A and B are shown apart, each in its own frame.
Chain A
Amino acid sequence: MSMIKTKKLIFEYEKRDEEGKVIGMNRAVDEVDLKIEPGQFIAILGHNGSGKSTLAKHMNAILVPTEGTMWVDGKDTRQEETLWDVRQSAGMVFQNPDNQIIGTVVEEDVGFGPENLGIPTDEIWERVEASLKAVGMIEYRKSSPNKLSGGQKQRVAIAGVVAMRPKCIVLDEPTAMLDPNGRKEVLRTVEELRRREKVTVILITHYMEEVIDADQVFVMDHGHIVMQGTPREIFSQVELLKKYRLDVPQVTILADELKRRGLDIPSGILRKEELVEALCQLN
């Protein structure tokens, strides 16, 4: 059974003028067909307003499709009875670290999810400890979230989701508001979690550098999925990526330019080391 599956998913919202009158419909997500298998690391790339966040909110049943269907772990997100199962199996981390921490102490915040699920007290403590350890924040368990850096707050938010033991974690631009250090910190945490806990990770972002390790990448534009494939397949189509207003990493652009000038190097180069290697092989 796929972790997440959509069929002709459409989400529309009303476009309003300044007086609040409806002047038309906006399609944020348009006929998206998607299939994500358990244990995969999926990245969804897209420029601002491409519909990637709207799609992400469907995976947690915060939004429900206008047309079409979305199944999370085999459950239709529109079904009221299984709504909470859906939310438990697909945990969600949001963009703003300040606006998703509920507790006044780190450990209380991590315990918030399990408390809502009705887990017995002893087990809540075990889960809180395990998930804080998993994100490397155990020594801050008694701190106030206000005293943490952005990256640390985001790791606490991830721990809060992990404590609910989800099968899949959806990260909706978790690094957009962080500095480069915080960004690295969060990505490293996600990577480690994925390896150790074997959860499905869906990373929504507009930084192409973050998706290099993904098993599969989807590129969205205007509500459609316009590209789909392994990072290498995606990154080798530099012209197309530029058309979708994505910031292609400099190495990839450089490699692409060199290749077009007739150098014999493979397409879809993702890392600096790879380019160096390829250049050294030339004679």
Chain B
Amino acid sequence: MATLPPLFAALSDPTRFAIVERLLSEGELSAGEIHRGTGLSGPSVSRHLKVLSDAGVVRRRAERQSRIYAVRPEAIESVAAWAMSHREFWEASLDRLERAMMREMNRR
């Protein structure tokens, strides 16, 4: 999970976080479409997209004249794995353990 700190650093900016949210809900977007949603200058949006791309949050592909951006699914998966806290894991498992014991007791 060595790639997580740069990934979080890239997401810690509200503009970039908003860009990633849009990409997640709308799928692929061109640089122009992303720009229209922000109210920022073109170069400023390009800089944000470069940070996201360098951190591995988004990937870029060229299509005719435009650059198309999408979220890398691997990036979200590594965040999801990290976000499952150990307390959540154990509390949820132990709830099930308790139910398994209750079933066992009711059988007798």
| A and B co-occur in one complex | no
